[in-house]
């Protein structure tokens, strides 16, 4: 059953309060023709109820020739605000931007965040937002994991399916997403719940074996047969297997971009409210897979853009039953998260 407008506004109110929205603050709601009207109305109503100075800015959508369907997540790094001084000025003038448009990873978005504006992206259908309402406990859990990930020098990921991947870390920060943006300059995404870190360029090596049940985003499908990825010098060199491998190989090749094969951010899911099964239950075009990215204990493997090496081809691939080690310290064992206060050292 769909949620009522009152329920959606109530959810927004809770998330805006978590985001430390105060009376008198300037809140800007960014929308476009593909934004969900129920989310627009709920966000505007909640912001007004909190006595903020709320305004809506409606922008034209962007489109890229490589988009396979009308999924804003398919292409990375372009957005409706690039070079749009009017929009950028308004966003910088706001205390908080609610992004119902999808601006993730775009250069103009980073410029806005640097000015101190905080931003919260919400794009999933209301039913998914309701299932994965963020909480202070989510923040505690995710920040504890982020802190454990922040000090390492080397990571290793293994699985019984055959994954054995290593990489050096330290050149890029460990990032935490927990579903609300309460600090100046912070960006977050509702719903979420994971840690992610770009590994040192050129250092990822080994193999990644995608097994049945792993999810490839933005395909929004479960892998049905093993896909073997060979990785050298920080990038995928071979993709082998059956039809699933052939499809993935062809999809990436169509971008005609060598940067598409770079190993990007690696991390693990920390959100018990998110469901691994959600991709199978939702209309494929209605979701872009945040529950898949966040479900508890997944190894979130990704490819494509990293700092200084942009690529429009970005894949997020949540994998099950993997173990994730930071400096030989287990963070996840065979898909089970080891909470930060229960870790045991493992000999190398
Ligand atoms: Fe990603």
Note the pLDDT tens digit of each residue in 129-173: 999 999 999 999 999 999 999 999 999 999 999 999 999 999 999
Q: Which residues pair with 228 in a beta bridge?
A: 209, 240
State the distance from the centre of ligand 1 to the C-alpha of 187, rounded, in angstroms.
14
pLDDT tens per residue, range 238-269: 999 999 999 999 999 999 999 999 999 999 99
pLDDT of residue 342: 62
State the distance from the centre of ligand 1 to the C-alpha of 50, rounded, in angstroms.
32
pLDDT of residue 343: 59
State the distance from the centre of ligand 1 to the C-alpha of 17, rounded, in angstroms.
27
State the distance from the centre of ligand 1 to the C-alpha of 309, rounded, in angstroms.
14
State the distance from the centre of ligand 1 to the C-alpha of 347, rounded, in angstroms.
31
The list of the chain residues with pLDDT below 50 reads 344-348
pTM for the full model?
0.94
DSSP secondary-structure letter at 4? P
State the distance from the centre of ligand 1 to the C-alpha of 273, rounded, in angstroms.
20
What is the H or E stretch that residue 198 is in? strand 194-198
State the distance from the centre of ligand 1 to the C-alpha of 176, rounded, in angstroms.
12
State the distance from the centre of ligand 1 to the C-alpha of 264, rounded, in angstroms.
8
State the distance from the centre of ligand 1 to the C-alpha of 230, rounded, in angstroms.
20
State the distance from the centre of ligand 1 to the C-alpha of 315, rounded, in angstroms.
6
Q: How far apart are CA 28 and CA 9, in angstroms?
A: 16
pLDDT tens per residue, range 67-92: 776 677 778 877 889 999 999 999 99
State the distance from the centre of ligand 1 to the C-alpha of 15, rounded, in angstroms.
23
Q: How far apart are CA 158 and CA 27, in angstroms?
A: 44
Q: Write the CB contacts of 277 (distance below 8 Å, at least 6 apart in sequence).
A: none
pLDDT of residue 345: 47
State the distance from the centre of ligand 1 to the C-alpha of 5, rounded, in angstroms.
31
pLDDT of residue 78: 79
State the distance from the centre of ligand 1 to the C-alpha of 215, rounded, in angstroms.
13
Q: Write the CB contacts of 87 (distance below 8 Å, at least 6 apart in sequence).
A: 30, 57, 59, 80, 81, 108
**C-alpha count within 13 angstroms, C-beta hemisphere, residue 304:** 22
State the distance from the centre of ligand 1 to the C-alpha of 317, rounded, in angstroms.
8
Entry field: residues in the chain:
348
**C-alpha count within 13 angstroms, C-beta hemisphere, residue 242:** 7
Q: Kindly give the pairing relationship between strand 205-210 and strand 164-168.
A: antiparallel
Question: CB of 106 within 8 A of CB of 112?
Answer: no
pLDDT of residue 73: 76
Q: Hey, what are 37's tokens?
A: 């009207």
The three-class DSSP label of residue 346 is coil
pLDDT of residue 324: 98
| Integer angstrom CA distances of residue 299 from 104, 272, 325 | 21, 14, 11
State the distance from the centre of ligand 1 to the C-alpha of 24, rounded, in angstroms.
34
pLDDT of residue 347: 39
pLDDT of residue 340: 75
Question: CB of 263 within 8 A of CB of 231?
Answer: yes
The three-class DSSP label of residue 39 is helix
State the distance from the centre of ligand 1 to the C-alpha of 26, rounded, in angstroms.
29
């Amino acid at each position: 059953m769909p949620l009522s407008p009152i329920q959606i506004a109530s959810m927004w109110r809770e998330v805006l309060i978590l985001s430390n929205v105060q009376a008198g603050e300037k809140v800007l709601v960014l929308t476009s023709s593909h934004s969900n009207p129920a989310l627009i109305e709920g966000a505007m109503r909640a912001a007004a109820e909190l006595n903020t100075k709320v305004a809506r800015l409606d922008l034209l959508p962007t489109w890229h020739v490589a988009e396979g369907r009308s999924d804003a997540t398919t292409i990375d790094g372009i957005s409706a605000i690039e070079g749009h001084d009017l929009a950028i000025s308004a966003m910088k003038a706001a205390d908080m931007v609610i992004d119902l448009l999808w601006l993730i990873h775009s250069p103009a978005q980073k410029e806005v965040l640097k000015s101190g504006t905080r931003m919260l992206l919400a794009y999933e259908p209301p039913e998914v937002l309701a299932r994965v309402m963020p909480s202070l406990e989510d923040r505690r859990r995710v920040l504890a994991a982020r802190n454990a990930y922040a000090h390492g020098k080397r990571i290793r990921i293994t699985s019984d399916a055959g994954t054995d991947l290593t990489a050096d870390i330290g050149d890029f920060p460990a990032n935490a997403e927990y579903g609300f943006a309460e600090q100046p300059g912070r960006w977050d995404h509702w719903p979420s719940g994971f840690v992610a870190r770009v590994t040192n360029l050129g250092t990822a090596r080994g193999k990644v074996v995608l097994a049945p049940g792993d999810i490839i985003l933005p395909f929004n499908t479960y892998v049905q047969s093993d896909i073997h990825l060979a990785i050298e010098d920080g990038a995928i060199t071979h993709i082998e297997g059956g039809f699933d491998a052939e499809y993935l190989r062809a999809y990436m090749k169509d971008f005609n971009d060598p940067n598409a094969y770079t190993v990007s951010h690696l991390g693990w899911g920390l959100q018990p409210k998110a469901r691994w099964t959600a991709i199978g239950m939702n209309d494929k075009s209605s979701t872009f897979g945040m529950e898949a990215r966040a479900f508890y204990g997944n190894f979130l493997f990704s490819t494509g853009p990293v700092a200084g090496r942009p690529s429009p081809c970005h894949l997020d691939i949540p994998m099950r039953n993997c173990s994730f080690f930071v400096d030989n310290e287990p963070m996840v064992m065979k898909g089970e998260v080891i909470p930060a206060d229960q870790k045991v050292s493992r000999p190398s």
